[in-house]
Structure 1
Amino acid sequence: MMEKTETDHVKTVTNIVMIGASAGGLNTFCELVANLEADRSTAYIFVPHLSSEQSGEYLVHRISRCTSIPCSLAEDGKLLAGGEIIIAIPDYHVLVKPGLISLSHGATENGWRPAIDVAFRSAAVGYREKTTGIILSGLLRDGTSGMAAIQAWGGATIVQSPDEAEYRDMPQSVLDALRVDRVLPVREIGRALADLRQEPRERLPIPEGVFQEARLSEKNATTVEDVKKLGMQSDLTCPDCGGILWEIRDGGIERYRCYTGHSFTMPDLDEHQNGKLELALWSSLRMMEEKKNLLMKMKAQESRRKGQVFSTGTLDMRLGELEQHMAQLRTVLKLNPEDGHSGTGG
């Protein structure tokens, strides 16, 4: 029997199923594949939100216990094979190209790498109407723009029923933005995939914006000129790098992208700004604590000196003003008045 060649692998995979999930998504994905009869012409690519410290090997082990479908981790240049599951790895974006997987260490999108939007856009460009996107349980809105890209290129879209999802944000976000092909309990998604494969799908004209943004994701860094083609300059700055954000509109989906490559939906941008603001407030409180300690040392020293540079009264006034500012910061940070510089943000 002859061995398969690289060309055979490329020909084998004619359909791509992209599955994105975040909080609560691993158990949900396991339930999905437990009820899935793998199609030999289809590659299944799972993109969960992973921190850089998580183990990809654990995911393979966990998922392999739920299904007999072969599972493996994404590798740069890995050939796609029909009837197999490929799992994204921590700290790398997954890019789907005809016949193979590519990995990128580009900027985070919606705070994640791997990001669901990045992977879904690349699959939409590479496999067009032969792509199916599935969004499972998760927080915030990563995946919505990617599902819009798949739909714009003629692909199919399936969303886990938000009422069933452990965390409904991601499924509901897609439903708020798009009219999807199916909204289903997880146990019914496998059957729906088989049905959708039998339905003819129209190859739609190439959406230039999606194509350009998918190509930008292949770069580890982009330029101002690259991003200018995608949208209009906003009056906001990137919370991750401080660069100017450009506003991009995908139908009813409003997003922001900087020329470094960071990208955010509006809720994700709000979440990131909150985090940066809290960090700045904690930093301010720490600096005020240090200033207070310095003023108290100056007061103790001046009280022992003749020919004082500062009167102790002036130092007392400055200490009083500083204590007022510190009390206000503690209120904003929801600290008890007696708390020092301790808590979740310290």
Structure 2
Amino acid sequence: MTAPESQGHDIIVIGASAGGVEAVREVAARLSPDLPAAVFVVVHSSPSSRGLLAKLLDRAGPLPASVAEDGAAVAHGRIHVAAPDQHLLLRAGHIHLSRGPRENGARPAVNPLFRTAASSYGDRVIGVVLTGNLDDGTAGLLAIADAGGVTVVQDPEDALYPGMPSSAVTQVPVDHVAPLAAIPALLNRLVLEPRGVPAAPSPVSTAEAEDGLDWLSHRRPPGHASGLSCPECDGPLWEIRNGELLEFGCLVGHRFSPETLAAAAAASLEERLSVSLRALEERVRMAERLVENARERGTSPIIADRRLREAERARRVAAQMRELMEASSRVRDGEAAD
């Protein structure tokens, strides 16, 4: 049924990434069949994903689950799952889907769902961060906390991929940290608890929460220039601070948390190095072919020798480029291990 004004916490938003399908399925399997709340789920997925998560959740537990539809009512007793390549956003009373700029390299991303839930429903929201790499979900969970909602994080030591839970626990005043097995019962209890004193209204407008950044319409930069470039569009990035929490965004609307930005920058560097290496290897092959051609035609030894030196220089530069790529990969692998 359509969600009425509630005295309890009747909006549950769940975010996960790597390992998230199994984690969310375990939660869905043990939710109460008469849960007086609407549940919204974002798990990072590929744009070409078949979008089977809703069917898995529908089969897993007592609550019906379906892919979220634009304009659909926010209904108690249902699980709404983000569709591939679309942000799942909440407005007062209904769902909104968006093909807006990717956040933390993902669409759907966790932060837009959490942020819009906080903006539209305030202290009625329960935000849940489950397993995943890097730190999507942290800024959104902080928005929920600031709006007076309840924050729940899977114990990082219990998570298959602890990055997202660890980031949330470190940077957000989390209300509950629990192993995955305990989260369904915790949610069943929290939705029945009355809310406390309402929090002050969020200073974030609906448009800013929905689109991530409402900078273009204001024609003003969102914060301090960072001196960095957006991995998505190569535009300048600006620093945005919410208390101690730091994010980066460009004027297009791409938005990054620090860990995700570092990972995206490393991937972008590796891609560009690969392009440069391919060009160098082609130059080596061309120089070698010119040497062969010079010898076949009986060209002056001076010209042949010059071609040979060009090929050797190109080979040395290509070898150095390979070493640089290997070093970059080792740094990235070391950061992932940390």
Q: 1:101 to 1:60 in 2, by over 3 A?
A: same
* Whole-angstrom distance in 1 between the partners of 2:205 and 2:21: 28
Question: What is the identity, as a one-letter code, of the residue corresponding to 1:51?
Answer: S
2:322 paired with 1:330:
yes
Aligned to 2:216: 223
1:215-240 residue CA offsets vs partner (Å, 9 max, x unmatched): 43498xx6284562x42221111011
Query: How far apart are residue 22 of structure 1 and its match?
Result: 0.8
Moved more, 128-137 or 326-335: 326-335
Aligned to 1:109: 103
Question: What is the identity, as a one-letter code, of the residue corresponding to 1:167?
Answer: Y
Superposition TM-score, scaled by structure 1 size = 0.87
Question: What is the identity, as a one-letter code, of the residue corresponding to 1:187?
Answer: A
Q: 1:307 to 1:215 in 2, by over 3 A?
A: same
Superposition TM-score, scaled by structure 2 size = 0.89
Aligned to 1:167: 161
Aligned to 2:182: 188
Aligned to 1:9: 2
1:259 to 251, 272, 284: 251
Instruction: List runs of 5+ in structure 1 lacking aligned partners.
Output: 1-7, 336-346
Query: How far apart are residue 206 of structure 1 and its match?
Result: 3.0
2:302 paired with 1:283:
no
Q: 1:164 to 1:317 in 2, by over 3 A?
A: same
Question: What is the identity, as a one-letter code, of the residue corresponding to 1:164?
Answer: D
The DSSP-based 3-state class of the residue aligned with 2:226 is strand
Instruction: Note the aligned Cα RMSD (angstroms).
Output: 2.3
Q: 1:287 to 1:309 in 2, by over 3 A?
A: farther
> After superposition, where does 1:303-314 map in structure 2 within 5 Å?
303-305=295-297, 311-314=303-306
Query: How far apart are residue 289 of structure 1 and its match?
Result: 1.4
Q: 1:133 to 1:115 in 2, by over 3 A?
A: same
Aligned to 2:70: 76
Q: How many residues align?
A: 324
Q: 1:234 to 1:39 in 2, by over 3 A?
A: farther
Instruction: List runs of 5+ in structure 2 lacking aligned partners.
Output: 328-338
What is the percent sequence identity of the aligned residues?
A: 34
* Whole-angstrom distance in 2 between the partners of 1:232 and 1:150: 25
Query: How far apart are residue 300 of structure 1 and its match?
Result: 2.5
* Whole-angstrom distance in 1 between the partners of 2:200 and 2:225: 27
Question: What is the identity, as a one-letter code, of the residue corresponding to 2:138?
Answer: T
Query: How far apart are residue 26 of structure 1 and its match?
Result: 1.3
Cα contact 1:138–1:170 (8 A) shared by 2: yes
Cα contact 1:237–1:245 (8 A) shared by 2: yes
Aligned to 2:336: none
2:71 paired with 1:67:
no
Q: 1:255 to 1:170 in 2, by over 3 A?
A: same
The DSSP-based 3-state class of the residue aligned with 1:106 is coil
Query: How far apart are residue 23 of structure 1 and its match?
Result: 0.8
Aligned to 1:149: 143
Question: What is the identity, as a one-letter code, of the residue corresponding to 1:223?
Answer: L
Query: How far apart are residue 200 of structure 1 and its match?
Result: 2.6
* Whole-angstrom distance in 2 between the partners of 1:38 and 1:181: 25
2:50 paired with 1:55:
yes
1:267-303 residue CA offsets vs partner (Å, 9 max, x unmatched): 1111111111111111111101111122122223333
* Whole-angstrom distance in 2 between the partners of 1:279 and 1:307: 39
1:19 to 2, 14, 17: 14
1:116-141 residue CA offsets vs partner (Å, 9 max, x unmatched): 00111011011011011000111100
1:15-73 residue CA offsets vs partner (Å, 9 max, x unmatched): 210000111111111111222115554100011111112122x2122112220211111
Cα contact 1:140–1:169 (8 A) shared by 2: yes
